[in-house]
Structure 1
Amino acid sequence: MSSEPLVTHIFTADPSAHVFNGRIYVYPSHDIATPIQDNDNGDQYAMTDYHVLSMDAVGSPVTDHGVVLSLEDVPWAGKQLWAPDAAEKNGKFYLFFPARDTEGVFRIGVAVGDKPEGPFKPEEKPIEGSYSIDPASFVDEDGEAYLYFGGIWGGQLQCWTTGKFDKEAYTNMEAQSGPALLPRVAKLSSDMLSFTSPPTELEILDPVTKKPLDSSDHDRRFFEAAWMHKYNGKYYFSYSTGDTHYLAYAVGDSPVGPFTYGGKILEPVQGWTTHHSIVEHDGRWWLFHHDTSMSGKNHLRCVKVREIFYDKEGKIVLTPE
């Protein structure tokens, strides 16, 4: 079973967990109360800042380091600081975050800090060539860094099928048949502030047919909440299926794919959204995720954590063999 909420004094969601200097740091969204009614556009998720949480180990006291970045600090952003992530490289710490620009289009920004708990100073403009939501950073063992992102419906990924933002595609949400919309990946520059080339699609294949998952396959297709981790030399790309509320994963031999669907990690939890991260600490693997058990409202969530395991074939399981 999942734990009690990591913290209860604020509402938190979309936890991105990392181990820096032996300590677990969690970079969540900071949910706030709003009178806006739930809608597919996601307007009710009106977050305006980020906190950083940290702990010596799962189960130990959690420190809230307070606000490390606010909407008003970001020159290009108009509203909605959604799910962030962080990375360490070059002795610096990088906070990647999505926000709507002043025209209502989601972009991805980056802010830089000297410590994992921030504070973070944002760049003046979003990352050139970035779009949509849910950035997830991954620094491989060879030092190469990648950014994964994308989210359909309110996350606007369906608006970018031509490479340019198509506002007319916004209300379509997603196609009812044909290949599913795919997450994006881009290699990051050595300074972590830009893409070295335009983002490409991250292919997710059916394990039997070896063909891309179909957009009608809502139990398995990508919706949002990208995450990447590595286990036993394999790359594990995990994500949310959105409207069916599963956390699922796919496995590949390269950080840029292709990936083969591997199964579900977590069944639906209380609340509409599900978003997670996976991290190893002291030889044990942990799944950080969220639900709405603290509020009963979709936009007021709480972060939780539970241990995960791998079977002999490398599949992710919730109970050890």
Structure 2
Amino acid sequence: MKIRYPALVLAAVAGGAMAQNPLVTHMYTADPTARVFNDTLYIYPSSDQVPPEGRKANDFCMPGYRMFRLDGGATWTDVGPVLDQNEVPWGKKNSFAMWAPDCIEKDGKYYYYFPAAPLDGSAFRRIGVGVSDSPEGPFEWEPHYIEGVKGIDPGLFVDDDNRAYLYFGGGHELFVVPLKDNMKEIAAPPKKIEHLPTGYKEASFMFKRNGIYYMTFAHTFPQEGYTIGYATSDSPMGPFVYGGKIMDNIGNGTNHHSITKYKGQWILFYHWWDISGFNKLRSMRADYLQFHKDGSILKVKPTLRGIGTPGLGELIQVDRYNEINGCETAFLEKDGYRGWMVTETKPNSHVRFDRVNFTGAKKIQARIACGQTFGKFEIRQNHVWGKLLAEFPVHHTGGWNRWETIEAEIKEPIDGVHNLVVVFKPDWGGTKLVNLDWLKLTE
């Protein structure tokens, strides 16, 4: 059975956030700090925007903060704004200088830290804090920045003994400082973190695993640019021993990260600019991270597939593939939607997308466009020769950019998590079958 839906309905469906890379496509997000609160995964990023008239086109233009929450297995919900640049009590107005933030829980309260340009001109950036009873705010902002701290990129850590530490800095030096129990004042003078590689460093982020403290940071090497590195210690204050790179440079621009454990898996969050093509308009991403037996970190390679396990009612962005053969992907921007599609779908070409939760699914929807040919594409389990799950007859939709949503029944009940393979089969004489944007499991 096949059902057609009007193309104008698609913008609301396809414009949502997703858990494949990049994680969010409706706005530019950078510097993602991920935290797990009450078994829920949140991201607290900065945001980029196109510079308004009168500002340099090549500058970072960062007006404020939003937050995102993972709902289901693969859907990032935009929870809403956290703080605008002109709401900082002690900050310059219209500075567009709201760089990387962080949020941490201590004793049932949630503390949100951020850098901003101070109105009093006492430093390039000062660090402020707000407090809330919920990880989703609203936050009550302190009227003054934290005394004794000058720098960017606040990274917070609360140890097993409930003592809290603030890591910060940018340039050739990074610092750590213990905080008082009120989380708003430092308990001692900041300490420079020694024995790190020379060169520009920023984006301090601490986590603990198996008794080892991992101080991670962005670092630039000569002729390579930004990388993500780490150093280890048996104390949150150090001394630290450099351990190497977590991620190589991925382009001519910045990188900024966080690391957290969610549902038993460690995840590296970072940013890139694959939507905009401009390194000042970035998009947050995530990939799984693994460790050697000795505790050292395996280097992470950026993937399209990213993290998450889409299930019932969630978009499966098959263009963020694990494997592709005989077809291609291309950027798609139409009616407010920005993303990718699978295209140039030659006979018997296929694309594989791993980790889909089929539990409860009875049908599959597909967003397609077809300009000239006819045929079908198949949904198979795990392999191109695997169990046939569904078949989609393809018809002319009015053009390669005229989109419709069609639906097919799943042939036999299937539960659990499986890989999904789409196999394209144009009729005889056809060299391209269909443009495919996404799939979705339904009841």
How far apart, CA to CA, are the structure 2 residues paired with 1:242 and 1:68?
Answer: 30
Deviation at 1:126, TM superposition (A): 0.3
The more displaced of 114-123 and 185-194 is 114-123
Mean Cα deviation higher: 117-126 or 282-291: 117-126
Q: Does 1:272 align with 2:263?
A: no
TM-score computed with the length of structure 1 as normaliser: 0.81
Normalising by structure 2, report the TM-score.
0.59
Check 1:10–1:271 CA distance in 2 against 1; reply closer, same or farther (3 A cut). Answer: farther
Instruction: Report the Cα distance in structure 2 between the residues aligned to 1:273 and 1:227, rounded to whole angstroms.
Output: 16
- 2: CA distance between counterparts of 1:131 and 1:312? 38
Aligned with 1:224 (options 172, 190, 202): 202
| Bigger proportion of residues as strand | 2
Indicate yes or no: 2:21 matched with 1:4.
yes
CA distance in 1, matches of 2:57, 2:226: 20
CA contact (8 A) 1:270 1:293 kept: no
The SS at the match of 1:127 is coil
- 1:42-78, CA deviations, whole angstroms, 9 ceiling, x for partnerless residues? xx22212110111147x52111111111112111111
Please tell me the residue identity of whatever aligns with 1:123.
E
| Runs of at least 5 residues in structure 1 that lack an aligned partner in the other structure | 39-43, 153-180, 206-212
Aligned equivalents of 2:264, 2:240: Cα separation in 1: 25
Q: CA deviation at 1:318?
A: 4.4
1:204 to partner: Cα distance? 2.6
What secondary structure does 1:204 align onto?
coil
Aligned twin of 2:169: 150
Q: Does the 8 Å contact 1:242/1:274 carry over to 2?
A: no
CA contact (8 A) 1:271 1:297 kept: no
Partner of 1:184: 175
Percent identity between matched residues is 43
Cα-Cα RMSD = 1.8
Alignment check: 8 A CA contact 1:127 1:193 kept = yes
1:114 counterpart (117, 130, 133):
133
Larger radius of gyration: 2
Q: Please say if residues 271 and 291 of structure 1, whose CA atoms lie closer than 8 Å, have aligned partners that are also in contact.
A: no
Aligned to 1:164: none
**Counterpart pick for 2:195 among 195, 198, 204:** 204
Q: Secondary structure at the match of 2:68?
A: strand
Aligned residue in 2 for 1:60? 74
Q: How does 1:120-159 map to 2 (within 5 A)?
A: 120-152=139-171
Number of residue equivalences: 272
* Residue type of the alignment partner of 1:115: S
Alignment partner of 1:36 out of 56, 67, 79: 56
1:17 matched residue in structure 2 = 34
CA distance in 2, matches of 1:37, 1:242: 24
Per-residue deviation at 1:118? Answer: 1.4
| Maintained 8 Å contact 2:245/2:299 | no
Distance in 1 (CA, whole Å) between partners of 2:139 and 2:86 is 13
Structure 2: runs of 5+ lacking an equivalent: 1-18, 301-443
Aligned mates of 2:71, 2:238 — CA distance in 1 = 34
**In 2, Cα distance between equivalents of 1:4 and 1:105:** 33
1-side partners of 2:202 and 2:210: how far apart?
Answer: 25
SS, match of residue 247 in structure 1: strand
Opposite residue 186 of structure 1, the aligned amino acid is V
Question: Which residue of 1 is the match for residue 291 of structure 2?
Answer: 310
